[in-house]
Chain A
Amino acid sequence: MSDPAARGTERPGPAPAEPGVPPGTTGPGTVPGPAGGPEPRQRLHPLSPALHGAKSLVVVIAGLSWSTLSRVGFGWFAVMAAVLALGATVLAVVSWYHTGYHVVGRELRVYEGLIWRRTRAIPLERLQAVEVVRPLLAQLTGLAELRLEVVGGGKTEAPLAYLGVAEAAALRQRLLALAGRVTAGTSAPPPGLAADPAGTPAAPPGRPLHAVANNDLLVSQLLTPQAFMIPFGVAFVVAQFLSEDSWSFVAVASTLTAMAGVLLQPVRRVLDDWNFRLARDEGTLRIRNGLLETRAQTVPLDRVQAVGVTWPLLWRVKGWLRLRLEVAGYSAGEADERNRPDRLLPVGDLATGEAIVAEVLPGVRLEALPLSPPPERARWLNPLSRQVLGAGLDARVFAVRSGLLTRQVALVPYARIQSVRVVQGPAQRRLRLATVHADTAGGAGAAARDRDVTEAWVLAAELTARARAARRAG
């Protein structure tokens, strides 16, 4: 197996299995990584292969599954898992030996591969967001993974796994500073980045914007369809347990695994969004979250492509909403939703939402969006949701509302519109309606559904004109 391939298959693999890691206390806060000059090629942290090996052990165990365990017995199962994990570790050591990175001018170069050598040069002017991810094991060992989001990358570029925490923080600071200098040259200068020289030690936390109460987070995830399924699932298992005399360990274990699969999403959300902290550091947003795996994400504000607001049905009892942040680079290429950290606010009330939206998109008020519903005849296509649909041109953003049960509002700044499309299906043609799409580099953009045809053309023309004006203004 080739070296890059080993890394490639290994990296996305562990994600689904990670919540299976037994929960533990958070590790020591900071362990200084190896210091080094900026110019020579640098290695990843020497403990990285051990971590990769441990991660692959989890994958191997999950891959071998319950039925294998029951077929071969525990001893053989352990041996198989150990052999496979050892093999993965050896590959990881070889891979580690040949992996290196350094910063050259405005590029980050990453070298990897033993048989197929690969050098990636990542242009920093295209940097969209930087994330420092610390899985549980990395927290225990004082390591961190650095992920860069670059436009045009199908998936996260250059996950540098793993670096020492201090080293990761310093590198993040440096990369953002390099990326910011270029932005300052081409468009509106983001003061935060410009005023953030690499010399500043220990990332300043910035001005705290909001902290999500963990109680609210728990309640919000209990108010999901999946959580409502728990009683049924438990009843099913109990029924199975009582009715079948010949119940086996495998049957019960498999049922429990299936149930865990259903509950995975809410549980993951709780684990991922635990201790959610949002701060603003001049021109960048800093987001920290996670219980077992902590993530610290840094997004320059001028890289925000769109903001999505969601009111899930069950949350209406509490009047809660969720905010989503679309950044270019977290593309559809990431199959695993977990690797698209797009949360701007996992749960919060309207006032909080307003405050955060005003911070990210100044001058936008969720309560005062100039939304207008589509014409009366659109009810033929949206019998129930016509009143919910809405679209409008605000001063700086294009706002679109949709969704009868799960209400959603998409806010796209004019300056971030990539292209405008008008689409008209056969039924819409008969009703003289059309849908106007505003495409953005990240996420799905915004679609104003079923507008009157003439209005749609005006809307498209207006969007094009405003997008052009916003681009010119910088």
Chain B
Amino acid sequence: MSGDGSAGPPPASPLPSPGPLEPWPDTVRWQSVSSDLIWVELIRLAMVLIVLALGLGVGWAVSGSGFFGAAVGVVLLFGVLRSVAIVRAVRAWGYAEREDDLLVRHGLLVRRLSIVPYSRMQFVDVSAGPLERAFGLATVQLHTAAAASDARVPGLRPAEASRLRDRLTALGEDRAEGL
């Protein structure tokens, strides 16, 4: 799993074929995102779960109905499953810079790979929420004229994020052909 950035499908894949997210393994050098993103996502999940569990717990204490207890259990179980999914999803997230385009892949259940040519770039977003900042992370998003294009790379170190941003901007300017 640790080598996810460079090769190999996730072990859960039922198929022995080369990873379905590795279309051109020899030409593409995948880079993985920072594993600190796991913590960011886990904390986000925990906050939601705590609010839910507290609400249900109060309901349980007040009414004493077993239904609320079961609900708390379901919420906690969901939390555990989701945490596992988060850990694996973050590891599955990767990006690669090729000569003419940026590749981004993500998703566990539904796997997505986006190929976005630099020349189609309209603008680049770099954003970092409070939680992301606390862990020293940032998100880079490349926008094209198509609403469906989906090239978002979360969990980048600020230095890497600005490097990527500058590189994308430079390449985009070089080859700009917006439409």
A187–B179 CA distance with the chains assembled, in angstroms: 11
Question: Is B20 touching A471 in the complex (CB atoms < 8 A)?
Answer: no
Check if A270 is an interface residue, CB within 8 A of chain B. no
The smallest beta-carbon distance between A334 and chain B, in angstroms, is: 13
Q: From A418, which residue of chain B is reached at the shortest CB distance?
A: B146
CA distance A445 to B114 in the complex (A): 14
Contacts of B23 in A (CB 8 A): 422, 457, 460-461
* B82 touches A (CB below 8 Å): no
Residues from chain A with Cβ under 8 Å of B73 in the complex? none
- On whether the beta carbons of B148 and A464 are closer than 8 Å, the reply is no
B147 with A332: CB separation less than 8 A: yes
Alpha-carbon distance A126/B176, docked complex (angstroms): 13
Task: Give a binary string over B130-174; 1 marks a CB under 8 Å from any A CB, 0 the rest.
Answer: 000000000000001111111100000000000000000000000
- The residue on B at minimum CB distance from A474 is B177
A457 adjacent to B24 (CB under 8 Å): yes
* Residue numbers in A under 8 Å from B32 (CB-CB): none
| Nearest CB of A to B106, in Å | 11
- Closest A residue to B122 by beta carbon equals A152
Q: Is the CB of A421 within 8 A of B24?
A: no
If the complex has contacts A418-B144, A419-B151, are A464 and B117 also in contact, measured as CB distance less than 8 A? yes
**Residue B17 is within 8 A (CB to CB) of chain A in the complex:** yes
B15 interface contact, C-beta 8 A: yes
* Distance of A461 Cα from B14 Cα, bound (Å): 25
Residues from chain A with a CB closer than 8 A to the CB of B113 are: 421-423, 460
Mask: chain A, 273-311; 1 = CB below 8 Å from B; 0 = not = 000000000000000000000000000000101000000
How many residues on B have C-beta within 8 angstroms of the other chain's C-beta atoms? 32
- Bound-state Cα–Cα, A421 to B115, Å: 6
Give the Cβ gap from A123 to chain B, nearest Cβ, in Å: 11
State which of A162-170, A341-349, A427-435 sits at the interface with chain B. A427-435
Is A416 in contact with chain B by the CB < 8 A criterion? yes
**Which one of B13, B101, B117, B147 has the highest number of Cβ atoms from chain A below 10 Å of its Cβ?**
B147
Inter-subunit contact B117/A468 (CB<8 Å): yes
Q: Verify B120–A430 contact, CB threshold 8 A.
A: no
Is A114 close to B, CB under 8 A? no
Checking A418, A426, A441, A461 against B110 with a beta-carbon cut-off of 8 angstroms, the contacting residue is: A426
A89 at the interface (CB under 8 A from B): no
Is A429 touching B24 in the complex (CB atoms < 8 A)? no
Q: Report the minimum CB–CB distance from B97 to chain A (whole Å).
A: 14
Q: How many residues in A have their beta carbons less than 8 Å from beta carbons of B?
A: 38
Q: Given A423, A429, A439, which contacts B13 in the complex, CB threshold below 8 Å?
A: A429
Asked if B44 is at the interface (CB within 8 A of a chain A CB), the reply is no
Nearest-neighbour CB distance to chain A for B107, whole angstroms, equals 8
Task: State whether A432 and B17 are in contact (beta carbons under 8 Å apart), knowing that A419-B116, A419-B144, A471-B177 are contacts in the complex.
Answer: yes
Which residues of B have CB within 8 Å of A471?
117, 119, 177
Contact B110 A439 (CB under 8 A): no
Structural contact, A440 and B111, CB atoms closer than 8 A: no
Q: Of all chain A residues, which has the CB nearest B102?
A: A419
Known: A422-B112, A471-B119. A441 touches B101 (CB 8 A): no
Give A464 to B13 CA distance when docked, in angstroms.
27
Whether the pair A303, B179 counts as a contact (CB closer than 8 A) is: yes
Given contacts A426-B109, A464-B115, contact A421 B13 (CB under 8 A): no
Given that A432-B15, A432-B17 are contacting pairs, would A464 and B110 also be in contact in the complex, using a CB cutoff of 8 Å? Answer: no
B145 touches A445 (CB 8 A): no
Question: A193 contacts the other chain (Cβ, under 8 Å)?
Answer: no
A441-B146 in contact (CB<8A)? yes
Task: Given A332-B147, A439-B149, A461-B24, decide whether A421 and B114 contact each other with a Cβ distance below 8 A.
Answer: yes
Scoring B109, B117, B150 by chain A CB atoms within 10 A of each residue's CB, the highest score goes to B117
Task: Give Cα distance in the complex from A428 to B172, angstroms.
Answer: 34
- B64 located at the interface, meaning its Cβ lies under 8 Å from any Cβ of chain A in the complex: no
Which residue in A186, A419, A424, A467 is a CB contact (below 8 Å) of B146?
A: A419
Q: A453 with B149: in contact, given A303-B179, A419-B144, A464-B101 (CB under 8 Å)?
A: no
Q: How far is the CA of A435 from the CA of B12 in the complex (A)?
A: 21
In the complex, which residues 81-107 of chain B have their Cβ closer than 8 Å to any Cβ of chain A? 100-101
Cα A328 to Cα B146 in complex, Å, equals 9
* Cβ–Cβ < 8 Å partners of B150 in chain A: 419, 421
Per the bound structure, the CA–CA distance linking A430 and B158 in Å amounts to: 38
Q: Is the CB of A421 within 8 A of B112?
A: yes
Question: What CA separation (Å) do A430 and B15 show in the bound complex?
Answer: 8
Given contacts A419-B116, A421-B114, A457-B24, 5 further A-B contacts (CB under 8 A): A422-B113, A425-B109, A432-B15, A445-B146, A471-B119
Which chain B residues have a beta carbon within 8 Å of chain A's beta carbons?
Answer: 13-15, 17, 20, 23-24, 100-101, 109-117, 119-120, 122, 144-151, 177-179
Q: Closest 3 A-B residue pairs measured CB to CB? A: A441-B145, A418-B146, A439-B146
17 CB contacts below 8 A, A to B, read: A418-B149, A419-B148, A420-B115, A421-B148, A423-B110, A424-B110, A432-B20, A439-B144, A439-B146, A439-B148, A441-B179, A457-B23, A457-B24, A460-B113, A468-B100, A468-B117, A471-B117
